[in-house]
Structure 1
């Protein structure tokens, strides 16, 4: 029976991921309906805490976008990337990582991909190299950013949920992911033929118009920033610092009397991170709108706000279905994995990575798998080291960041292989994630 239920779970995830958009969420609900009404499973708890965090954080990022703050960050990143074109294979991924780490979203990447591709092509560096690692770097930034839903869910939301958990995640995951990205850069440094020896590029250069456009100076003038763009970035930065401070010094937060635990309070009367993040980020959003005179209606029209709706529905359906499956079969799953994981905690990373490759959502994978890791007795430092494994959404080349990188590479060097999985992002992705996990275990052992 467990095998049949597992096949249904995987089938719903696969079908939903192919549907794109809210497909993952609605197919998750189909799976939940089968589990509840056909198999009579007791429904697990819906991921309300994660959904609230996603709504709060992404709404604030959308406000930053509407105020012009994201455009300002992109301009800063562009200056860094263009500053040393010969070393773009190293500069571009680290620039992408730090800017996405700050913003808590990989959406900054879309504006930087054409710049990375253009700079690389002009220097006759195969664009596949910096583009592929930059995509992976944008994903790894999510696991460590205090402004990402995945990190917020992991630090609180009934998973780690101990004082200082957010800081521990940052102390281990940020340096570990940076090491992973560095190794990934070296892994692609000589990947593929040199651009001028690539037959696809040689054929494209026979077109005079293509050659002229490729070597022409960038014609687009920097986008005119809105008046309040820099102010919005400062407010956003203060919000990030306040969240980090709350995670580092929980004793500074107001304390309430002991009582029954709720969505926002522990049984000891302490504020949970979901409450802190929601209050701080949405207050920052209000300040950005008031001080920059940005219409609240304009915020609802930007791309990040619509992406928030998609993320909430997806997490709602697929995590609720997965939580129900896990809770119903926890005894069997725990009995099967406990001995192996107890002896070798790193093996749990394989399970996290496998599900992450199917779910296309770091937050959903975190909320589904990390509670299982806690139930299996994986130590906190080991679970944090394994956290980068949720970034397996590059395995199947259907994630938007991968497709965007392929489309922005005019030379044709970034591509999906004949066998689908042998695409441009597989090598840098595997190297970055494996090295980040290994580095995380080493850093965690010292800390």
Structure 2
């Protein structure tokens, strides 16, 4: 019976991932309907913690965007990239990583992709190289960012004091090394631009050739009056979350009592609560101080993308957790011995689930509790955390498609056999290096 249930799980995820958007979440709920009506499985609780974390963090990021702070951050990154055109294959991905790490979302990369494509093409550097590595960097930044839903979900699952700090101590340096490794992997990828047949064919078009000679991006941009203030408030919120995770004694304690969604039995506030209160308070301050209207926030592109993320996590994680909870003993018997002897195989399982789910937070919420059930130690799960970034494997994720569309030279593409696309090499190398060095860092930092 478990195999029939597993087939339902896979079919719903595969169909949902092809539908994209809220399709993944809706197919997950359809899977729940089948589980309850056909297999009579007992539903687990919906992933309300992750859903509320996404709501809080994305609302704050959308407020930053509406106040002009996001444009200001992008302009800084743009200046860094334009000032180092010859080293763009390394500078662009690392700049993208830092920006996405700070903001907690990979969607900022959409603003940088056309700049990266333009600068590299004008310097006759194959755009495929910095574009592919930058997309991978934008994903790796989420596993370790104090403002990402995936990191917040991981800290909530581990649920021990200082978990968020341990995640950042390990995953930030390991993912940085992963980004550098992906840059090295693509440094000579493909033909040089002036030897590429597709590019040479396009250069026969006078207008196309002229467009690559015209300097652009030199006009000084004007930002909203509250842009810098919004960035400062956003940065202060990140600092408060870091301090709350590193020094629990700074967080007010409540009276001991019955544990609930927000408070532990000993009266200490859960990390989920800290993140939600701090981020949404920061959003309120940005709105009030910069005089940003609520209507502007709800119209921001990040805010409108939140509904899709929440529905996706709601459906697919609820379905997955129901399947695993009702088959826990069988799964432990099947995988327990294997993961005990070869714990690294669990990273492969995370990777496979991540490439099907197209969501770091959903994959984290689905797979990490299973890892704990199988007896894997917290440090090992932290080291494996970057494996949730496998959404590049099937070339349907929006950041990949955007990079392909912004590259006017045609060098960034999906291959004839689908999986031989521009992002495969930097993605595989980046994640592999991040996981391997993650295990090194948990030993180096003595995380237990």
TM-score normalised over the length of structure 2 = 0.98
Structure 2: state its 5+ residue gaps. Answer: none
Q: Secondary structure at the match of 2:391?
A: coil
Deviations 1:174-209 (A, max 9, x none): 000011111111111110000000000000001110
Supply the distance in 2 between the matched residues of 1:265 and 1:348 (Cα, whole angstroms). Answer: 31
Partner of 1:54: 54
Deviations 1:24-55 (A, max 9, x none): 11110000000011100000110001111000
Structure 1 contact 71–223 (Cα < 8 Å) conserved:
no
Partner of 2:391: 393
List aligned pairs for 1:126-165, cutoff 5 A: 126-156=126-156, 159-165=157-163
1:202 matches 2:191: no
Structure 1: state its 5+ residue gaps. Answer: none
Supply the distance in 1 between the matched residues of 2:219 and 2:374 (Cα, whole angstroms). Answer: 55
Supply the distance in 1 between the matched residues of 2:205 and 2:217 (Cα, whole angstroms). Answer: 20
Q: Provide the aligned length of Structure 1 versus Structure 2.
A: 445
Deviations 1:242-279 (A, max 9, x none): 00000000111111222221111112111001110111
Partner of 1:313: 311
1:220 deviates by: 6.7
Deviations 1:95-152 (A, max 9, x none): 0000100000011100000000111111111000000000000000000000000000
Supply the distance in 2 between the matched residues of 1:301 and 1:444 (Cα, whole angstroms). Answer: 42
Q: Greater CA deviation, 249-258 or 57-66?
A: 249-258
Supply the distance in 2 between the matched residues of 1:371 and 1:268 (Cα, whole angstroms). Answer: 23
Deviations 1:337-393 (A, max 9, x none): 111212222111000000000000000000000000111111111100000000000
Runs of 4+ aligned residues of structure 1 deviating over 4 Å after TM superposition are: none
Q: 2:426 aligns with which of 409, 425, 428?
A: 428
Q: 2:376 aligns with which of 354, 375, 378?
A: 378
Partner of 1:360: 358
Supply the distance in 2 between the matched residues of 1:402 and 1:107 (Cα, whole angstroms). Answer: 11
Supply the distance in 1 between the matched residues of 2:328 and 2:376 (Cα, whole angstroms). Answer: 15
Partner of 2:22: 22
Supply the distance in 2 between the matched residues of 1:42 and 1:219 (Cα, whole angstroms). Answer: 57
Partner of 2:12: 12
Question: Could you say if the C-alpha distance between residues 363 and 222 of structure 1 is closer, same or farther in structure 2, counting changes exceeding 3 Å?
Answer: farther
Partner of 2:417: 419
TM-score normalised over the length of structure 1 = 0.99
Partner of 1:298: 296
Q: 2:439 aligns with which of 425, 438, 441?
A: 441
Supply the distance in 2 between the matched residues of 1:162 and 1:357 (Cα, whole angstroms). Answer: 28
Supply the distance in 2 between the matched residues of 1:12 and 1:90 (Cα, whole angstroms). Answer: 39
Q: Secondary structure at the match of 1:107?
A: helix
Supply the distance in 2 between the matched residues of 1:408 and 1:224 (Cα, whole angstroms). Answer: 24
Partner of 2:280: 282
Partner of 2:105: 105
